[in-house]
Structure 1
């Protein structure tokens, strides 16, 4: 395994005053189901804006660059959140691991920027809920871990849309599962989320007002109202055509 260790990395606080620094040790490594990929094992250096990554270390191996980085592994650092803007530096991530980082909440928009994700690992954080349709833009996911989180509420359409999901670790949550490389066991296990991890009233209210179900409901209501109106217009047109034909016949006779 090739590893390059950072010997010294000092950036001026003036040049980095707008964001976080992602301090990486780059290596070819494996984590869970993602094997032998070029990854950043790193830590977050707090400088300026406490949520946005504004720079990353550039001590890459050989001719590699940021676009070659397929994984991030952050472990045992108190953050409280998932840093934003990582995708601007590492756009091709397949594996995202923030373990024991005290992340309190996670939102679909934070993962949507990583369309190639195949694996996420949020072991031992403080995530308590997953909103409706959480992974609708991350359909390549095949391994997910929320193990040892106080996860109690999961919206509908979260795991069941992931056709490639074969590994799911939710031990210590409302639905304790530990499945590795077994699609059928995953399918059997996610069936119980609706019963064991019901969404909160606030989650349902938000979904009703802003979610895809609301859009579908409105569209259906419009369609339901338009269909009778369309039929009435069609009938009126038919009657008008018949009336015009009768008038034409009378004119011919006269």
Structure 2
């Protein structure tokens, strides 16, 4: 039993070490319209296998807490993937800026938990495509910016769930170089179709067989990342099950100890000497 308990503890501890710590410098940071209480990320690094935030550290301004944070600003960091689980620590997050941080991949579920998000800005990152379900379930977003990214493909349907969108920045990309405003003169459907027409497929971008080969390898890499993402999600489920088993083991040990004590006290009057004589 002890070996099983130690093994479960070992697995849980390993799983916990995979999470990343978000080190924040908290301050009132000016936006276009007002000051927003902001977490400015320090020394942040994310990889495919280490992108789930499990801890946030940093000294708050007096009277402020994580619940007051409306903006996370990540700039000049090393983030191949968007850090996940931010909503667990910042439930009122409205603005997410990740700029010039080498973000390459947008994965389904990256924005889960950010139910109040209004602005999503990943400008100046080497992102080359937007998947169909990336924005699914995030209709609260009003502004997105992919300014100066490497966008070659925007999957049809990927933007239609942004029913409250007002502005989309796609300036400086491979397939599109334009800002789109959604208003009375241009509906969401019209804007989306315009973008999809420009960025659906890569025929207008690919210039040679060599380029096609590179693009194929890139998409293979993305498929591999999605498979590994599924493995990570399965690992999360496994760690949850193991944690439950650990708690059950502890509870059973406590019950066993209590039962043994009661039998010892009632049958042997609490005397170890008497119990030994009976057993011998």
Asked whether the two chains share a fold, i.e. TM above 0.5, the reply is yes
Answer yes or no: is the 8 Å Cα contact 2:46–2:83 preserved in 1.
Answer: no
Partner residue in 1 for 2:119: 119
Partner residue in 2 for 1:223: none
Partner residue in 2 for 1:195: 197
Cα separation, partners in 2 of 1:131 and 1:42, compared to 1, 3 Å: same
Partner residue in 2 for 1:176: 177
Answer yes or no: is the 8 Å Cα contact 1:133–1:156 preserved in 2.
Answer: no
Structure 1 unaligned regions, length at least 5: 1-13, 207-254
Instruction: Please give the secondary structure, in 2, of the residue aligned with 1:102.
Output: coil
Counterpart-to-counterpart distance in 2, 1:129 and 1:168: 15
1:36-51 superposed matches below 5 A:
36-45=35-44, 50-51=50-51
Tell me how far 1:133 sits from its aligned partner: 4.0
1:17-166 superposed matches below 5 A:
17-32=17-32, 35-45=34-44, 50-166=50-166
Tell me how far 1:183 sits from its aligned partner: 6.4
Counterpart-to-counterpart distance in 1, 2:166 and 2:65: 31
Answer yes or no: is the 8 Å Cα contact 2:144–2:168 preserved in 1.
Answer: yes
Counterpart-to-counterpart distance in 1, 2:139 and 2:83: 22
Cα separation, partners in 2 of 1:163 and 1:154, compared to 1, 3 Å: same
Instruction: Please give the secondary structure, in 2, of the residue aligned with 1:41.
Output: strand
Partner residue in 2 for 1:8: none
**1 or 2 for the larger relative contact order (CA 8 Å, sep ≥6)?**
2
Question: Number of residues paired by the alignment?
Answer: 189
Structure 2 unaligned regions, length at least 5: 1-13, 203-215, 224-280
TM-score normalized with structure 2 length: 0.59
